[in-house]
Amino acid sequence: MPETAQVAVRQEASSLDCAIADWIAALGESNVSADPAELAVAGTATFAEERAIPAILRPGSREDVQACLHIANRHGIPVYPISGGRNWGYGSRLPAVNGCVLLDLRRMNRILDFSEELAYVTVEPGVTQGQLFSFLRERGSRLWMDATGASPEASVLGNAVERGFGHTPYSDHFGHACGLEVVLANGEVVETGFGRFPRARATPLYRYGVGPSIDGLFSQSNFGVVTRMSVWLMPAPQQAEAFFFRCDDENGLSALIDALRPLRLAGVLRSAVHIGNDYKVLAGIQQYPWEEAGGKTPLAPGIVRALRRKLNFGAWNGSGALYGTTVQIAEARRMLRAALRGRVNKLQFLDERKLRLAERFAKPYQMLTGWDLSRTLELVKPVFGLMRGVPTAQPLKSCYWRKRGPLPAELNPDRDRCGLMWIAPILPLRGEDAVRGSDIAIGTVLEHGFEPAISLTLLTERTIDSVISIAWDRDVPGDDERARRCHDALLEKLTASGYYPYRLGVQSMSLMRHPDSTNQLLARFRDAIDPRHILAPGRYEG
């Protein structure tokens, strides 16, 4: 923990009381909470990290955020901003260190600007994926948003500044956003790109502006509170067609990846193709197969192999989508077929018409196509939706993998003591690296008694993001600690092999504590705008 943060933790209760009084004066009583039950909930995540959170503030405007930060500075109380608080698997809404007051931005949920013509929307941090989706649908817009699987309640802006990704060609959320308004730790407001100039017309459209481009500084950082952002939207293509493939050969990954790379580089695959291993697919379909496993954990590879045959999925299972006109899609389909020939056991294409058909006639459809949709339809539908930017809570179900008993009606992994940690290394988009990264994950996670559920996302033209999830039941004694050891060992092995994560959970921030000159540079910058170190201390900080 950085020294300044330690000092903040040891703050005098009296200065906290004074700060709370000031915050109440600024925001009103109803927007400041020190309710112990609420604070305890806020301080809980899906793994064994808790945070002492002295209070929760709910600013309603940029001016409120500025006031909150001025007060925080005056009293030396650190604050930690959250947009939606749905940072599942990375710490939910936990600050990196103890003693931070939460700056909950959910009340700032206005959609400030929208252009159907130029295909963008300007949002505040509290705007959720579900809200934006409804906004577009209500207007009969022909524009698509890009969604993550983090549920309709997740913040659009929050995911973007965390550099999350989704499933359409606009999957790089930070790469499709610009024109940030940021409140710095000292309460000053900066606008990025052309926004700093009066009456600039291209602010929501052009990232760089003129002069140094500073947007990146406000992603994965503690340099400021982003209070506004323009997000680019994708014009709906004439047609979108999902594809699904599976490879039954456990050793087939390398050839598969190398076959897909040219298509990704050439832009035939415009969106991020996802490839999941057997464990990943299984955790998407159902909870832990306690019966088949005889109540034992981890789930042995042999049992998963048997389930593969029974449930009709492969060692590696891919999904993605093609976008464009009928002709463009037909051509992409041809190229994909040619590339995957001999490398996959099954390649299926699915459009909206086929999906509706499948829903209505699952049985006849199986007879017609030979493909059993009955078990996978529940899994396929939300994935198909994500490929068109439709938010869903479906992926959250896999957080309950090791929980016994049925899923609750309303999913809440924090409350339900689901154990979940994600480690997401970036790999070069080559078969060799995909295999090496996956082998490390499979070996390490099994060795620690968990199931290596792995997805490999062809995130950019040249990289794979492999998201490795470690899921457990926090109610099983000892598993919290085992999971933590597993996480630490895996991160250690991956980075030792040159595979660094694209994003960190609050439990992994120590990776940044690396004595390099970038850290020194960032520390100098931080000192220049946050000398008391009151903004999100320890977050992505060396």
Q: Kind and range of the H or E element at 183?
A: strand 177-184
Closest to its own copies by CB, 83 or 508:
508
Number of residues written out for the chain: 542
Closest to its own copies by CB, 125 or 542:
542
Which of 15, 28, 35, 216 binds its own copies (CB under 8 A)? It is 216
CA distance 363 to 346: 19
Per-residue x/- marks for its own copies, 426-455, CB under 8 A? xxxxx--x----------------------
Closest to its own copies by CB, 200 or 362:
200
CB of 67 to its own copies, least distance (A): 17
Closest to its own copies by CB, 232 or 450:
232
CA distance 279 to 324: 32
Residues 477-496 that bind its own copies (CB under 8 A): 495-496
Check residue 232 for interaction with its own copies (CB under 8 A).
Answer: yes
CA distance 125 to 109: 6
CA distance 205 to 127: 20
Classify 338 as helix, strand or coil: helix
Cis peptide bond N-terminal to 501, omega within 30: no
Closest to its own copies by CB, 44 or 466:
466
CB of 210 to its own copies, least distance (A): 6
Residues 395-414 that bind its own copies (CB under 8 A): none
Residue with tokens 């590339």, as numbered in its chain? 339
Check residue 118 for interaction with its own copies (CB under 8 A).
Answer: yes
Which of 9, 18, 41, 202 binds its own copies (CB under 8 A)? It is 202
> Residue 33 region, left (φ>0) first, then alpha (ψ -120 to 50), else beta?
beta
Residue with tokens 């088949």, as numbered in its chain? 292
* Size of interface with its own copies, in residues (CB under 8 A): 92
- As given in the structure block, the two tokens for residue 433 are 């690296």
Check residue 190 for interaction with its own copies (CB under 8 A).
Answer: yes
Residues 128-157 that bind its own copies (CB under 8 A): none
Residues 265-294 that bind its own copies (CB under 8 A): 265-267, 270
CA distance 403 to 416: 9
Looking at residue 419, its amino acid is G
Write the DSSP symbol of residue 71: H
Which of 24, 62, 109, 206 binds its own copies (CB under 8 A)? It is 206
Which of 492, 448, 520, 468 shows the shortest CA–CA distance to 90? 468
Residues 322-361 that bind its own copies (CB under 8 A): 324-325, 327-328, 330-331, 334-335
CB of 272 to its own copies, least distance (A): 13
CB of 525 to its own copies, least distance (A): 5
Check residue 511 for interaction with its own copies (CB under 8 A).
Answer: yes
Residues 166-185 that bind its own copies (CB under 8 A): 169, 174, 184
CB of 500 to its own copies, least distance (A): 5
Looking at residue 47, its amino acid is F
Check residue 517 for interaction with its own copies (CB under 8 A).
Answer: yes
Closest to its own copies by CB, 211 or 477:
211
Residue 380: which residues within 8 A CB-CB, separation 6 or more? 242, 244, 350, 355, 373
Of the candidate spans 85-93, 95-103, 206-214, 393-401, the one that interacts with its own copies by CB under 8 A turns out to be 206-214
CA distance 46 to 85: 12
Which of 28, 262, 364, 408 binds its own copies (CB under 8 A)? It is 262
Count of helix runs (H) and strand runs (E) in the chain: 16, 19
